[in-house]
Amino acid sequence: MTFRTLDDADLQGRRALVRVDFNVPMQDGAVSDDTRLRAALPTIEKLRQGGAKTILLAHFDRPKGKRVPEMSLSPVVGPLSKLLGAPVAFADDCVGDAAAQAVAAMKDGDVLLLENVRFHAGEEKNDADFAKALAANGDLYVNDAFSAAHRAHASTEGLARLLPAYAGEQMRKELQALHAALGEPQRPVMGIVGGAKVSTKLDLLNNLVGKLDYLAIGGGMANTFLFAQGIEIGGSLCEKEMADTAREILEKAKAAGCHVILPTDAVVAKDLAPNAPNRVAELAGPNGVAAEEKIFDIGPNTLKQVLDAMSEAKTLIWNGPFGVFEVEPFDKATVDAAKHAARLAVSGKLVAVAGGGDTVAALNAAGVSQDFTFVSTAGGAFLEWMEGKELPGVAALSR
């Protein structure tokens, strides 16, 4: 897929409507994590240097089409201005007179943040009149919010149909990384999929087994696959009703030549607590999981299989941890695998792409996020892309 970038645009004096992701964590009315603000900086700087008027569109939380003062974007202005090293103006609406007057007051190179687009019901309905009201304040449209690209909303899809549309720098980076991971990857390609339930990642698994050379399944969802094969899992989290589906996925993987790595041993304990008494259970042997025990991580033999496959792979795509990484010592496999992937990526032997909230948190806990080729902070959009679904906000940018 090809799309226009800001390299293709004449920016001088033009009003650029930029969809960004400023749905940032807040605590006591202040921004508590500015990661998403920082992600928008390259696009804002490129527009400013090109002489454009940068008009930022974003949502915050779920006001459901009503004005909710606690969900205003105004607390973002100070932190963004500080990061930019330049003033950022604010308009208390994204359409109408307030927005039009604020845009009219702008000079080339200025930056303006408009109020929460979700204060209007037309945003999530992708209402044509609301999209036109937004478009009235712009000469071109830039989408820099991959995390919102799976939604066909007025500010993510509708606007791209009304104005010349371009991918922002963060969007470009994300799409290029994802294309390198599953579009035209270097082979062998390995996937790691974890999480609590097979049911929430059914589309993902069905899509990946046809595209990967190796698939390592971890987290609670691995227990369902073990149960489906008649392996005792004690009191572990399991979707027993998904056993037939799990077997179908394994058959599909086999037919596609995708080697699935499931746990052959596991770290088990009776209770989930920091440094709880635990042991390694050989899943298919006499030393298996007892009725009162639960699986909280993959064991050392399984981890070795994962690391060996990773060393053979040229491309890795990762979504979901192997164990309950938030609680020691059940973080070991996830941390060790993350560090191994990071070393391979840094040495140029592996293209390592990861995404999803738990995955990002796990890589941060391992201290290796900066060493991966790319780490996506887009949860739902990243997952839907991995499922092989078309993302409306991305499709709207195609040439």
* Separation between Cα atoms, residue 126 and residue 134, nearest integer Å: 11
Contacts of 304 (CB under 8 A, 6+ apart): none
How deeply is 7 buried, as exposed, middle or buried, from its count of CB atoms within 10 A (0-12, 13-18, 19+)? exposed
Contact (Cβ atoms closer than 8 angstroms) between residue 93 and residue 119: yes
Q: Which residues are designated catalytic?
A: 36, 197, 357, 380
Euclidean distance between CA atoms 73 and 321, whole angstroms = 33
For the beta sheet containing 294-298, the strands, ordered from the edge strand earlier in sequence to the opposite edge, are 278-282, 265-269, 294-298
| Residue 285 burial class via C-beta count within 10 angstroms: exposed 0-12, middle 13-18, buried 19 and up | exposed
Residue 289 has φ and ψ, to the nearest 5°, of -80, 125
Query: In whole angstroms, what is the distance from residue 37 CA to residue 111 CA?
Result: 14
Look at residues 214, 191, 223 and name the one whose alpha carbon lies nearest to residue 297: 223
| Burial grade of 12 (CB within 10 A; 0-12, 13-18, 19 or more) | exposed
Residues of 362-384 as b/e, b for ≥16 C-beta within 10 angstroms? bbebbebbebbbbbbbbbebbbb
- Host H or E run for residue 226: helix 219-228
Instruction: Count the Cβ atoms, other than its own, within 10 Å of residue 30.
Output: 11
The CA distances from residue 184 to 255, 341, 351, in Å, are 21, 20, 12
User: Phi and psi for 288 in degrees, rounded to 5?
Assistant: -75, -170
